Structure 1
Amino acid sequence: MAKETLQAPVKVLFVCLGNICRSPTADGVFQKKVKDAGLADQIIIDSAGTGGWHIGNPADPRASQHAAKRGYDMSQLRARKVADSDFEAFDYVLAMDADNLHDLQALCPDAYQDRVQLMLDYLPEDFPKPMTEVPDPYYGGEDGFELVLDLIEAASDNLLADIQQRLT
């Protein structure tokens, strides 16, 4: 079944637990990919957390440092919690893992359930390390932040292609 067409601006919300590691990384990566594609005026990007522990805080310094090494700027991002109004406002609400997906689905009105999905639904089938979730790097080492970037970069390409196909 074909997806419905979308009017610009298309709005994309990336969601993880605290909005300091994975979702701001996705926000920063996707901002650059959208800008590089010349679509910054047609796609609005934001990120949020299902938990409110870090509201107003910048991204985790480790996430920012790893992202910066690849040319992504997350310095302006500040953590916020998902709001009820986000489900109507955003065309895509992309969870980083199954737990956050379930939390979002529980909060989301029935009319907008089709907007809520996993970020890695967009991961290419030929990705060297097939995964369904972006793992939380918070308590891990440096490799965790690099894996998050690898996964998000790959999925972002397919997400952008999906949006471009749906834009009218």
Structure 2
Amino acid sequence: MIRVLFVCLGNICRSPMAEAVLRHQAAEAGLDEFIQVDSAGTGDWHIGKPPHEGTRMLLDGLGIRHEGMKARQVTAGDLDSFDYVICMDASNERNVRALREAAGSARLFRFMELVEGRQGEDVPDPYYTGNFQEVYDLVHTGCRALLAQIMRDHHLGRA
């Protein structure tokens, strides 16, 4: 089983959107039995809450399932139990790297490294901007690239 964790600040907008999108794309590719996806936040403000209404509405409109998702906080143990830990912005990456000092074998990088021509940028936080469609467009593109990378890394079908 290949395990992927997306990390953002509160785990209600960007990272659960990426979790739902990658799950959906993996299922479409027939790889949902091989890839497990989760998300977490660096902060603890929203623990136990479902994704933000804007994320849920956008996913619902696209037929992408998100039922049962609840916000949680990233832990040092996640860095050992996941193969890929993907942070949505530089601040999240710094916080996760600080956890990594104690533990971690996961491949850790920033989400926008997956989006051609946008490396080094952050995924905008729609909690503040309200632009859930812009975030979805980036997440959709980045998750496609991630799925292709996972397929290459683990020799799963065609990449």
Aligned partner of residue 143 in structure 2, secondary structure: helix
Task: Evaluate the alpha carbon distance shift between residue 81 and residue 110 of structure 1 in structure 2; reply closer, same or farther with a 3 A threshold.
Answer: closer
Aligned equivalents of 2:14, 2:84: Cα separation in 1:
16
Matched, 1:148 2:135: yes
State the Cα distance separating 1:110 from its structure 2 match.
7.0
Q: CA deviation at 1:60?
A: 0.5
SS in 2 for 1:139: helix
Deviations 1:18-71 (A, max 9, x none): 000000000010000000000011001000000011111000011110122122
Does structure 1 residue 56 correspond to structure 2 residue 48? yes
Match of residue 111, structure 2, among 109, 119, 123: 119
State the alpha-carbon separation in 1 of the partners of residues 106 and 16 from structure 2.
23
> In the TM superposition, what is the alpha-carbon distance from 1:139 to its structure 2 partner?
2.2
What percent of counterpart residues are identical?
A: 40
CA contact (8 A) 1:94 1:118 kept: yes
- List 4+ stretches of structure 1 deviating above 2 A: 109-114
Query: Structure 1 CA distance, aligned partners of 2:73 and 2:80?
Result: 15
Number of aligned residues? 154
Tell me which amino acid in the other structure corresponds to 2:65.
D
2:17–2:136 Cα contact (<8 Å) kept: yes
Tell me the amino acid that sits aligned with residue 112 of structure 1. Answer: G
**Taking CA–CA contacts closer than 8 Å with sequence separation of 6 or more, which of the two structures ends up with the larger relative contact order?**
1
- State the AA in 2 paired with 1:25: M
The reply to whether residue 13 of structure 1 matches residue 5 of structure 2 is: yes
| CA deviation after TM superposition for structure 1 residue 111, in Å | 6.5
Mean Cα displacement is larger for which, 59-68 or 107-116?
107-116
- 1:25-64 matched pairs, under 5 angstroms: 25-64=17-56
Does 2:154 align with 1:162? Answer: no
Give the alignment of 1:48-127 within 5 angstroms.
Answer: 48-109=40-101, 112=104, 115-125=107-117
Unaligned runs of 5+ in 2: none
C-alpha contact (below 8 Å) 2:80/2:105 kept by paired residues:
no
Report how far residue 140 of structure 1 moved: 2.4
Q: Secondary structure at the match of 1:53?
A: coil
Question: Structure 2 counterpart of 1:160, which letter?
Answer: L
Structure 2 vs 1, CA of residues 114 and 77 (structure 1 numbering), >3 Å: closer, same or farther? Answer: closer
Q: TM-score, normalised by structure 1?
A: 0.86
Length-normalised TM-score, structure 2: 0.91
Report the counterpart of residue 127 of structure 2 in structure 1. Answer: 138
RMSD value, Cα? 1.5
